[in-house]
Chains A and B, each alone.
Chain A
Amino acid sequence: MASLIGFYSLIFGLCLSFIIYFFSIKNFRNSLIFDSKIIFFVFLQLLFVTISFFGLIVSFINSDFSNETVFNHSHTTKPLFYKISGTWGNHEGSLLLWLLVLTLFIFIFLVNSKEQKKKYRILTLLFQQIIIIGFFIFVIKTSNPFNYIFPIPKEGLGLNPILQDPALAIHPPILYLGYVGSSIIFSSTLAATSLNYISNNWAKHIKIWVLLSWIFLTLGILLGSIWAYYELGWGGFWFWDPVENVSLMPWLALTALLHCILILERKLLFTSWVIILSISTFTLSMCGTFLVRSGILNSVHTFANDPQRGLFILIFLFCLIFLSLFIFFFFHKNEDKEKYNFFWLSKEMSILVNNWFMMYFLTVILIGTIYPIFLEVINSEKISVGPPFYNKLIIPFLVPFLFGMAIGPKLKWVKSDFKNKLYLVIFLITSFLLSALIVKNFNISFLINTILVTSAFYLFFITLRDFLIKRFNNFSQNISHFGFSLLILSILLNNIFSTEIITNLKVGETFELKKTKIIFEGIDEKNIKNYNVVIGKFIIENFNGDTEILKPELRIYNQPNIVTSEADIKTSLFEDKFITMNLVQNQNYFNVRYQIKPFMIWIWISVLIISFGGVLSIFRKRI
C-alpha cells in the first residue's frame, strides 16, 4: 500500500514539473511580478516527493517484501535504525533522496530570494527543473524503488553488514545535501550568466548556498572517512580510493569557488572563474554519481548495476555540460581588462594563486581516477592508481600552498608590501627549528619531512597569532584556516609516528616487543539479534606497566552471510590504539594487527573546526 502511494506520488511529482514549466514560461514573458502560484506548485512537488520518500521508509519499517527494493536490502531481524537507514543505503532509495533534496532546495531558494529580480528567479527555477525532470525520469524509468514482486517472498536478502554502521547511516544524506546544494549554485549561475546578472549583489546572495553546500560536503566526507577508519579495519582514514576521490573533487572546486565568491562580493572580479567553478562543482558531483553508480569503477558504493542506468546518467551529464558550455560561451561577456590592475603582492593575486593550486590538485586527482578507465578502453590494460601517485604529485606542492595560505590573508587589496611584517620571518625560523627538532629524533628522511612539517607549523602559528591579536576580525576565515593547518599537522605527525605490529596468536599466547606486550587472554561468543559475534580479549602492557584491555570482534551476520571484523579502538587525546583480529582458515590461531596511531582524533576535530568556520560565516552575515 505504502509502495503504491509512493509510486503514484512520484508520477504526480513529475507531472508537476511540466505544470511549473508552463506557468514559469508564461510568467517570464508576460508580467513584472513573480507569480506566487509557482511557489505553490513547487511546494506541491516537494510534498509529493516527500510522501513518496516516506512511503519507501514505511515499506522498509514494515518489512514489506512485496517491494523489490525492500526485499533486496532488508531483513526482518535487522534493527529498526538500520531498517530506516537502509532506505537510502541502496541505489533506488538514494536516488529518491537526491530528488527529495533537489526539490527541497529549490523551494527554499524561491522562498529566500524575494529581493532578487523576477527573471533571474524564474530562470533559476527552470534550470533546476531540468535537473529535477532528469532525475524523475531516471528514477521512474531505470531505478524505480517501488517495483512489485510476486510471489511475495517471506524474507529479504539483508543489508550488507559493512553498511550497518551509525556513521554510514547519516553519511549519504549529509553528503547529498552538499552535492545537491551545488545544483542550486549551478542553476543560479547559469541563470545569472544568461541574464548578465552577475554582480556583487548576486554574489552576496549565492554565497549562503556556496557555504551551505561546502559545509555539508566537508562533513559528509568526514563521516565517510570516519566510517572507513572504524569499519574497514585497515587503520587508515583515506585510501585514495576512486570513490573517495570523486567526493574530494567537487570539494576542491567548491573551496576555490568559495574564495572567488568572497572576492566577487567586494569587487567585480573573477566572474569567469566563478562561472566555471560553479559549473564544474556540479558536473563533478554528477560525474561522481555516474562513476560510482554505473559500475565503471569497483567499490562498496557500486550497487547492483545495470549498464542502462550508467548510460542514462552519462547522457544526462553531458547534456548538462554542453548546455552550460553553450551558455558560458554565448552569454558571458568578457570582463574589463582594467579591473585586473593589481600588484603581484595583493589579496586578489593570492586568491588567484589559491585557485591555481586547487585546480592543480583537482587535475591530479581527476587524472588518477579517470586515467585507468581511459587506458582500459583504449588498450584494455588494467592498472590501478594508488597512494604513491597522489603522494608524489601532491605533497611537494603542499609546501608553497601552505605558505601561501599563511601569508595570503595578511595582504591588502590591490597592492601590499612587506612593512611591519617582521613577525612573518620570526615565525618561519621558529617553526623550522621546532620541526627540525621533532624530525631529527626519528629515522626518516630529514629534508622533505622537515620542510613539510615547517610549512604546517608555520600556518599553525600564524593563524594562532591572529586569534590572539585580531580577535574577531575575519574570525570565520581564521578558524577554517587554523583548522586546515591542524589537519595537515595531524596527518603529517600521524604518518610519521604510526607504528604497527602484525602477528599470529593463539589463545593464551603473548607477543613481546621491547616496549609493548600483547597478551591474548581469551575469546568469548555471543548471539546478537542479527549476527553472532566472537569477541577476543587482548591485554596490552606498556613498558612502564600500564595495561589496557582491547576487545576486537568478528561478526558473523546471518543475512546476508558475511563475516566482518570490527576493530576495537581506544581513543585518547594523543593517540589511538587500534586492534583487529581475523580468523585464518583451517588454523587455530588468529591474525592480530595492532596499531598505534598518534593524533588520530585531531584529524576529525580539525575537519570539524574547518566546517565550523563556514557555519560562523553564515551566521555572521545574518546578524
Chain B
Amino acid sequence: MKNRIFISLIIIFFLITFLIFYKGLQNTNIYIPNVSTKKDIPYFEAKLFGVDRFVNSNEIFEKDKFYLVNIWASWCVPCREEHPFLMNLKDETKINIIGLNYKDNNENAKRFIKELNNPYNIILSDKDGIIAIEWGAYGVPETFLIYDKKIIKKFIGPLNLDSLSEIKKLIK
C-alpha cells in the first residue's frame, strides 16, 4: 500500500515536470543581445551602388522622417525570402528604403535586383562589410527602422509578416 502511494507520487511528480517543461517550450527565448535602440545612427560614407559617387549619412537621412535600412546580398538566401515584404512596403507606404549591399559582387547584385525588382530608394555598396560593422549588424539580412536620425527598431534575420505589420504600425 505504502509502495503504491510512493509510485503514484513519483509519477505525478514527473508528469508535473513534463507539463512545466512543455509550457516552458512555448515561450522559447532566443537570446538577442540588448539592442541599442533609440541610438543615433552612426556616421558613415559609402559609395552609391553602380555609380562612382560617394555620399555620407548626413546627406541621406533627414530629420522627422522614417527610413528603413536593409542590409542584403545577392548570395544570401533569406534575403530572397524577405524581398516580397520590402516590395510590399515600397508599394503600400511612403517609407524611404535604403539598401546596404553587403560584401557582394556587382554583377550578381544587379541581376538580383533585376530579377526581383527594386524596392530601394537608394542602394549603397558595402564591399568590405565595414559599414555593417558600424551599424552593429550580426549578419545578413538585417533591417533597421530609423526615425529622426535615431534607430528605433532592429530586425535580425529576414523580415516576415509579423515584422511587416509592426513596421507599418510604427510608421503610422
Q: Residues on A close to B: CB < 8 A?
A: 71, 149, 151, 153-155, 157, 290, 294-296, 298, 302, 305, 307, 310-311, 314, 318, 321-322, 325, 329, 373-374, 376-378, 556, 558, 560-563
Contact of B139 among A149, A302, A561, A563 (CB under 8 A): A561
A560 to B103, CA, bound (A): 11
**What residues of chain A lie closer than 8 Å to B30, measured between beta carbons?**
295, 298, 302, 305
Q: Write the chain B residue with the least CB distance to A314.
A: B21
| Minimal beta-carbon separation of A362 from chain B (angstroms) | 15
Inter-chain contact B21/A560, CB cutoff 8 Å? no
Given the known inter-chain contacts A149-B77, A154-B75, A318-B14, please indicate yes or no for A311 contacting B133, CB distance below 8 A: no
| Minimal beta-carbon separation of B138 from chain A (angstroms) | 7
Inter-chain contact B24/A377, CB cutoff 8 Å? yes
**What residues of chain B lie closer than 8 Å to A329, measured between beta carbons?**
3, 7
Inter-chain contact A294/B31, CB cutoff 8 Å? no
Inter-chain contact A322/B14, CB cutoff 8 Å? yes
| Minimal beta-carbon separation of B53 from chain A (angstroms) | 26
A556 to B134, CA, bound (A): 12
Interface residues on B, range: 20 to 34
Contact of B31 among A149, A302, A310, A321 (CB under 8 A): A302
List, sorted by A's number, 27 A–B pairs whose CB atoms are closer than 8 Å. Answer: A151-B77, A155-B75, A157-B139, A294-B25, A296-B21, A296-B25, A298-B29, A298-B31, A307-B26, A310-B25, A314-B18, A314-B21, A318-B14, A322-B11, A325-B7, A325-B11, A329-B7, A373-B21, A374-B20, A377-B20, A377-B23, A377-B27, A378-B20, A558-B103, A560-B138, A561-B132, A561-B133
Inter-chain contact A296/B24, CB cutoff 8 Å? yes
A366 to B42, CA, bound (A): 45
Inter-chain contact B133/A154, CB cutoff 8 Å? no
A494 to B150, CA, bound (A): 46
A302 to B31, CA, bound (A): 9
Identify whether the interface residues of B are mostly helix, strand, loop, or mixed. helix
**What residues of chain B lie closer than 8 Å to A563, measured between beta carbons?**
133
**What residues of chain A lie closer than 8 Å to B129, measured between beta carbons?**
558, 561
Q: Write the chain B residue with the least CB distance to A299.
A: B31
A222 to B129, CA, bound (A): 37
Given the known inter-chain contacts A321-B14, A377-B20, please indicate yes or no for A314 contacting B138, CB distance below 8 A: no
> Does B93 lie at the interface of the complex (its beta carbon under 8 Å from any beta carbon of A)?
no
Q: Write the chain B residue with the least CB distance to A304.
A: B30
Closest 5 CB pairs of A and B: A298-B31, A154-B75, A295-B28, A377-B23, A560-B139
| Minimal beta-carbon separation of A82 from chain B (angstroms) | 18
**What residues of chain B lie closer than 8 Å to A294, measured between beta carbons?**
25, 28
Given A307-B25, A329-B3, A561-B138, 18 more contacts at CB 8 Å?
A71-B77, A149-B77, A151-B77, A294-B25, A296-B28, A298-B30, A302-B31, A305-B28, A307-B28, A311-B25, A314-B18, A318-B18, A322-B11, A325-B7, A376-B27, A378-B20, A556-B133, A561-B129
> Does B163 lie at the interface of the complex (its beta carbon under 8 Å from any beta carbon of A)?
no
A410 to B21, CA, bound (A): 44
B window 123-166: CB within 8 A of A? 129, 132-133, 137-139
> Does B76 lie at the interface of the complex (its beta carbon under 8 Å from any beta carbon of A)?
yes
A562 to B30, CA, bound (A): 18
A311 to B132, CA, bound (A): 36
Inter-chain contact A325/B21, CB cutoff 8 Å? no
A322 to B77, CA, bound (A): 43
Inter-chain contact A561/B137, CB cutoff 8 Å? yes
A153 to B103, CA, bound (A): 14
A314 to B75, CA, bound (A): 36
**What residues of chain B lie closer than 8 Å to A562, measured between beta carbons?**
138
> Does B10 lie at the interface of the complex (its beta carbon under 8 Å from any beta carbon of A)?
yes
> Does B108 lie at the interface of the complex (its beta carbon under 8 Å from any beta carbon of A)?
yes
A535 to B133, CA, bound (A): 19
A325 to B77, CA, bound (A): 47
Q: Write the chain B residue with the least CB distance to A308.
A: B25
| Minimal beta-carbon separation of B1 from chain A (angstroms) | 14
Q: Write the chain B residue with the least CB distance to A71.
A: B77
Inter-chain contact A153/B76, CB cutoff 8 Å? yes
Q: Write the chain B residue with the least CB distance to A562.
A: B138
A561 to B133, CA, bound (A): 7
A571 to B26, CA, bound (A): 46
B window 54-105: CB within 8 A of A? 75-77, 103
**What residues of chain B lie closer than 8 Å to A561, measured between beta carbons?**
129, 132-133, 137-139
B window 1-46: CB within 8 A of A? 3, 7, 10-11, 14, 18, 20-31
**What residues of chain B lie closer than 8 Å to A558, measured between beta carbons?**
103, 129
Q: Write the chain A residue with the least CB distance to B6.
A: A329
Q: Write the chain B residue with the least CB distance to A68.
A: B77
Q: Write the chain B residue with the least CB distance to A310.
A: B25
**What residues of chain B lie closer than 8 Å to A151, measured between beta carbons?**
77
| Minimal beta-carbon separation of B63 from chain A (angstroms) | 22
| Minimal beta-carbon separation of A356 from chain B (angstroms) | 19
A8 to B7, CA, bound (A): 44
Inter-chain contact A314/B10, CB cutoff 8 Å? no
A144 to B158, CA, bound (A): 22
